[in-house]
Amino acid sequence: MGTWNEWFDALRPHLREEEALRVQTLDRGPYVPPAPLTREALAGLMDHTLLTPEATPAAVETLCQQARSWNTHSVCVNTQYVPLAVDALQGSSVVVAAVVGFPLGAMASAAKAFEAEWAVKAGARELDMVMAIGWLKAGRYPEVLADVRAVRAAAPPPVILKVILETDLLTDDEKGLAALLAVAAGADFVKTSTGFGYGGATVPDVQLLRGVVGRSIGVKASGGIKSYQDAVALVRAGANRLGLSKTGVVLGKGDGDAGSY
């Protein structure tokens, strides 16, 4: 596996000056996970998620009711359900997040940007976009950058932008390169996985990503989190956001799950 400096050197010719500076000034000091990791504390790190194709409006309403009751950070839904979720969560502190270019990341960048802009206008305050994974694996870094830039431009801060890397499809070097590309193009978080059939978050992957982005950028672990022990291990490894549908089980609230994410 290469080093941080080797990954940056490989990408430097493709970065704008401000992007290179963003990467170079990352705070890569030791990351200290939050403590204590009670179930209540974990809830505040959770994106309670429902992204299955068969999800109904009633199921999304239930998701929002659960998130409000359990005090999760957000709900994460497909863009068609953003208006419904915004209405259902009026008066609560729960944020609405939406996925963009999900789950493949192979859409045209203009399509991703349109979806992102639409979601924000509808009330989403966080976006989880899927990176152009094929371009990354082909070493086409300018296209990967342009893709994330397009979504960032369509949804500028204070909207939180998370970039899904689909780590299970990547080598460790590709994970490092992907994380730096996402940061350079303006991501607030790097995220492990879609949770759609390619594996999910692992402690080694979260540790690797946290080591790459340091303390300046968020790391979201998603996919396959099915127990309180899973959640705690990932947070201790460096995740400061968790994406899951088994939220009820993890929080000890019974079997009120939103799906298999």
260 within some domain = no
89-147: pLDDT as tens digits: 999 999 999 999 999 999 999 999 999 999 999 999 999 999 999 999 999 999 999 99
255 within some domain = no
Strand positions, DSSP E, 78-228: 95-100, 126-130, 160-164, 189-191, 218-222
Q: Which of 47, 128, 188, 230 is catalytic?
A: 128
Number of domains observed in the structure of the chain: 1
Host domain of residue 186: 4-24+39-250
16 within some domain = yes
52-90: pLDDT as tens digits: 999 999 999 999 999 999 999 999 999 999 999 999 999
220 is catalytic: yes
237 within some domain = yes
190 within some domain = yes
pLDDT for the residue 258: 60
Cα 43 from Cα 71, distance rounded (Å): 6
169-211: pLDDT as tens digits: 999 999 999 999 999 999 999 999 999 978 899 999 999 999 9
pLDDT for the residue 35: 87
The better pLDDT of the pair 135, 35 is held by: 135
Cα 115 from Cα 122, distance rounded (Å): 10
pLDDT for the residue 1: 83
Q: Which helix (H) or strand (E) holds 242?
A: strand 241-244
Q: Which of 188, 191, 230, 246 is catalytic?
A: 191
pLDDT at 256 over 90: no
pLDDT for the residue 217: 98
Domain CATH for 84: 3.20.20.70
Q: Which of 112, 162, 175, 220 is catalytic?
A: 220
128 is catalytic: yes
134-170: pLDDT as tens digits: 999 999 999 999 999 999 999 999 999 999 999 999 9
87 within some domain = yes
241 within some domain = yes
Quick check: 75 and 64 in contact, CB under 8 A? yes
Sequence length of the chain is: 261
19 within some domain = yes
